[in-house]
Copies of this chain bind each other. A is one copy, B any other.
Amino acid sequence: MSIKVTILGNASAKPTAHAHPSSQVVNINEQLFLVDAGEGVQRQMARLGISPLKLRAVFLSHLHGDHLYGLFPLLSTLGLYGRRTPLQIYAPRPFGEMLEGFLRLCEQNLPYEPQWIEVDTTKHQIIFENDTTQIWSIPLRHRVPTAGYLFRQKEPALNVKKFAIERYALSVAQIVAAKRGEDITLDSGEVLENRLLTYRPYPAIAYAYCSDTNYSARVATLCRGVEMLYHEATYAAAERKIAKERGHSATTDAAKVAEKANAGRLLIGHFSSRYKDLEPLLKEAREIFPATEIAEEGKTYLIEDARQAE
């Protein structure tokens, strides 16, 4: 089953009339996760026909305004729309204090509970898990505590091939055992290897979101083998020094991380407002990592198991 990533904003902090700050919706098995929430996120969702009521949880990388200021208006609107289910917001400290102030001063009567779950930005660990999905934190290197997020589909349960059931006249007990991954011994004494009897109904896809951050070899290691990596590329290679000083990456940094991680594809975003034309940035990244794309506002990227298909 694929993962879908919809870009709501691809700009960095200075607002422009044509671009929105960082925000995206990650759709895993029809669970919608909002990742970062720059100003205007709810308007972008309305434009793209994504119902905010469907949000399963929110993940904030860090507490700079261009990743944050759209969240409170969205929380407010969810109240107007009558959400009742608690909403988990994963974010570094001191988000809890901000949320407390918001609830006390701005929204005393929300009909649901926004719940803060603190993210330790120094650790790579599972912070969310259910039947189908694991979400891991990734320590990033920015001016303030910042985490990336690694979305991993879990391996789906094994299915038993129909032809095998018929050919070997497998019993219910044998089918259940095969689903558990066991080899099957027939009455004849013949042993059937599990891999010949079963298959995964869909591949487990992984997607990593890394913004904002300096180049980090550790990030590449932690994102090893992801089908798609979103990595910030605030600056062109010529401004690499400025990027480094400000806790950001240049196009070439993003491409090197993707290459080192052996990622399937690279999406670059979080562009400085100084770049009116993004083509030169794309070109720079592609020289190092050809499977690079610009994260375009309003576009949905379908992540499939490209390497298996090849």
Contact = CB atoms under 8 A, between A and B. Distances in A.
Query: Which one of A42, A46, A65 has the greatest number of beta carbons of chain B within 10 Å?
Result: A65
Contacts of A63: 105-106
A39 B16 CA distance: 15
Contacts of A97: 101, 105
Nearest to A40: B40
A14 B69 contact: no
A14 B101 contact: no
A229 interface: no
A94 interface: yes
A280 interface: no
A13 B81 CA distance: 11
A284 B123 CA distance: 61
Given A98-B105, A101-B101, A106-B98, A43 B65 contact: no
B69 A65 contact: no
Given A42-B15, A43-B39, A43-B40, A73 B65 contact: yes
Nearest to A75: B65
A114 to B, nearest CB: 14
Interface string A172-216: 000000000000000000000000000000000000000000000
Q: Within the oligomer, what is the number of copies of this chain?
A: 2
Contacts of A43: 15, 17, 39-40
A254 interface: no
A41 to B, nearest CB: 10
A17 B46 contact: yes
Interface size, A (range): 20 to 34
A107 B65 CA distance: 9
A71 to B, nearest CB: 10
A262 interface: no
Interface in A241-285: none
B106 A68 contact: yes
A68 B40 CA distance: 14
Contacts of A46: 15-17
Contacts of A73: 15, 39, 65, 69
Interface string A97-118: 1100100011100000000000
B106 A65 contact: yes
Of A43, A98, A105, most buried by chain B (CB within 10 Å of CB) is A43
A77 interface: yes
Nearest to A71: B69
Contacts of A68: 106
Interface of A: 13-17, 39-40, 42-43, 46-47, 63, 65, 68-70, 72-73, 76-77, 80, 94, 97-98, 101, 105-107
14 contacts: A13-B80, A15-B42, A15-B43, A16-B46, A17-B43, A17-B47, A39-B39, A39-B40, A65-B72, A65-B73, A65-B76, A69-B69, A94-B105, A98-B105
